[in-house]
Amino acid sequence: MPSRPLKVFVAIVFVCGAAAASSQQSGPSADATRRAVTAADAFFSTLTPAQRAKANLDLNEKTRTVWSNLPTGIAMQVGATERNGLKLGDMTPPQEKAALALVAAVLSRDGYQKAMQVVDADQLLEERSAPTRKPGSQTRFGRAEYYVAILGKPSTTDLWMIQFGGHHLAINVTVAAGQNVLAPTHTGAQPASYQLEGRMVRPLGDENDKAFALVNALTDEQRKQAILGFEVRNLVLGPGADGKTIAPEGVRASAFNAAQRKMLTDLTREWVDIIGDAAAAARIKDIEAGLGETYFAWAGPTTNGKGAYFRIHGPTVFIEYAPQGSGDNNIDHIHTIYRDPTNDYAAKAARR
């Protein structure tokens, strides 16, 4: 499929996202589920039988864990499955539009925009990398290498799942009869900032800025507790770490004042609010209920503009932000993870 100009792609997906999100803002969770089913059926209607066989798989413990932050080509080199689904590069424009409308149907307006900004960054990475790529290399970046999959049968009552992912993005939404679950989801960026049509874009800029604001709002004693005594170069519970746990570290939010607690909640929202509004509101309420048992940990410099790792670890939330590589200026390549230790892949609904 021919590559379309970046600005054209952005315009197409933004229109799809805005339309879906505007309807989400006023509807309850059940309406969000019905919209997801409608969008899934519309996407299926554009596909050939062979394409649908790729795009629609059974939902089980094996298929749901097939997601990654790796670019196309590298996964096979390390013995992993690439990804579930049908990639955008193998779709016609109407099919791609329907696929992205499906993604937009389960995300908030801002969450959809963030996801598309990650895709745009990866397209720029492809354009920069292609001229110097070694002959025979199978590694590919760019929007054509993002996959859409539906696991299970779209339903308003039974569990099913939507996956949208490629390099630095793995959106995993389990549709759980009126309560969509985003965890686990990976977001990243490379480059972490870029110019598009005369404006600066930072897909994960608010995550970075809010975290630095919080660490610098801590008292000396709180900061001493928060800062880890070692360097962290990558995600501890990233892709491939399903079911694993670690002990909480850092400063406990029970020691925070009201302003600090609000800053921590606002930082957490940068991940939670990727999902549609109704599901996000329920998640924030749940996270706030356990805020006193939530820990904030930091590794690296505390001056914004430097590369630093941080972690939010509570009873029902686990978030990591990890600049890649060593040194304090590694700010152009970011990995993050969002999990719910109690409800990844809608485990609670699956047990009912």
Residue 26: per-residue pLDDT: 38
Look at residue 274 and tell me if it is in a domain.
yes
Residue 13: per-residue pLDDT: 40
Distance between CA atoms of 5 and 281, rounded to whole angstroms?
36
Distance between CA atoms of 20 and 152, rounded to whole angstroms?
22
CB 300 within 8 A of CB 328: yes
CA-nearest of 344, 349, 103, 306 to 211 is 306
171 and 287 housed in the same domain: no
Look at residue 193 and tell me if it is in a domain.
no
CA-nearest of 297, 324, 154 to 238 is 324
Structural domain tally of the chain? 2
47 and 104 housed in the same domain: yes
217 and 328 housed in the same domain: yes
Look at residue 188 and tell me if it is in a domain.
no
Domain boundary pick from 149, 180, 211: 180
Q: How many Cβ atoms sit within 10 Å of the Cβ of residue 212? A: 19
Look at residue 315 and tell me if it is in a domain.
yes
The tokens of 49 are what?
A: 């039988």
Residue 12: per-residue pLDDT: 38
167 and 122 housed in the same domain: yes
Q: Give the domain range for residue 261.
A: 203-351
CB 183 within 8 A of CB 176: no
CB 243 within 8 A of CB 221: no
235 and 129 housed in the same domain: no
Domain boundary pick from 121, 149, 180: 180
217 and 97 housed in the same domain: no
253 and 303 housed in the same domain: yes
Question: What Cα–Cα distance (Å) separates residue 164 from each residue in 161, 282, 293?
Answer: 10, 23, 32
Over residues 254-268, the pLDDT tens digits come to: 999 999 999 999 999
pLDDT-flagged residues of the chain (< 70): 1-28, 75-81, 178, 326-329, 352
- 25's CB contacts (< 8 A; 6+ apart) are 109, 277
170 and 236 housed in the same domain: no
pTM: 0.90
Look at residue 194 and tell me if it is in a domain.
no
155 and 208 housed in the same domain: no
The tokens of 92 are what?
A: 């016609």
125 and 224 housed in the same domain: no
160 and 208 housed in the same domain: no
Residue 246: per-residue pLDDT: 97
